[in-house]
Amino acid sequence: MSTKRIVRAAILILFFLGGCKDKTKEVNTRVVEKDTIVDTAPKDTIPNKEEAEEFMLTEENAIEFFFEYQKDLKENVLKITTSMGSFTVQLFDNVPYHKANFIYLAKQGYFDGTQFHRIVKNFIIQGGNADDRETPQKRRKIGRYLLPPDGKKGYKHHRGVLSMPSSERDNPHKLASPYEFFIVVTKPGSYHLDGSYTPFGKVIQGMDVVDDINAVPVGKGDWPSNNVYIEKIEVIR
């Protein structure tokens, strides 16, 4: 990609982000409409002074960082180990920012100890958040940023597809939350999501584990009655 195209892309993303800044609202971590898929974490991830002295991703540097990060990235298969078993996912190569983001967070150990915290029967399981103190601390350390939507690569929300939720309800440009993801369990798929969210991978082994997670009892706000932990996400090839 030429320097001019990189600068142009960065300006476009900053324009999108600027257009959404004044519309940020805290999302209730328990109550979200069934067909709305958002980041369920409170928006309190502003770093403290000590954390700011280390490298962190921001709205200003995230696109450039992931553009460089994905250049030599050959890996695209990851194993997700949960408290209910493990399954394997393969990320799409032509969704570079979302692929790079997911692999980067996995290598940073962000997902380890988080949960599948939202489960909607016969629809999705959503992971990457937790009702603990460690998860927001991890987010603060890594940084506060969003990703541009990339839903025009021809991928649909078939059963088993990984996709990325929006950052909040009041988000007209559907900018993606980098810290959470959801997996479609609907047969044959949930195609009403196409165009609104970014598919960036698919389950290639262990879909029965995903179905088992989707079958657990849930309480208010679709939060599982018993926590379903993501013990580790590791890049395997």
Domain coordinates in residue numbering, the chain: 3-235
Residue 91 CA to residue 96 CA, distance in Å, equals 9
Residue 169 CA to residue 33 CA, distance in Å, equals 10
Give tens-digit pLDDT for 184-220: 999 999 999 998 899 999 999 999 999 999 999 999 8
pLDDT greater than 60 at residue 111: yes
User: In Å, what is the CA distance from 38 to each residue of 119, 145, 197, 230, 232?
Assistant: 13, 15, 10, 19, 22
74-88, 115-129, 135-149, 167-181: least confident range: 167-181
pLDDT greater than 90 at residue 20: no
pLDDT of residue 109: 97
Please report, rounded to a whole number, the percentage of residues in the chain having pLDDT higher than 70. 75
Residue 148, token pair as written in the block: 């541009």
CATH topology of domain 3-235: Cyclophilin (2.40.100)
Q: What does pTM read for this prediction?
A: 0.79
Give tens-digit pLDDT for 61-73: 999 999 999 999 9
pLDDT of residue 171: 66
State the chain's mean pLDDT as an integer: 83
Kindly state the average pLDDT of the residues 82-101.
Answer: 97
Residue 61 CA to residue 65 CA, distance in Å, equals 6
pLDDT of residue 22: 35
Q: Tell me phi and psi for residue 132, to 5 degrees.
A: -135, 180
pLDDT of residue 151: 82
Higher pLDDT, 11 or 59: 59
Give tens-digit pLDDT for 37-50: 666 655 444 445 44
pLDDT of residue 200: 97
Give tens-digit pLDDT for 125-174: 999 999 899 999 999 999 999 998 888 889 999 999 999 988 765 666 77
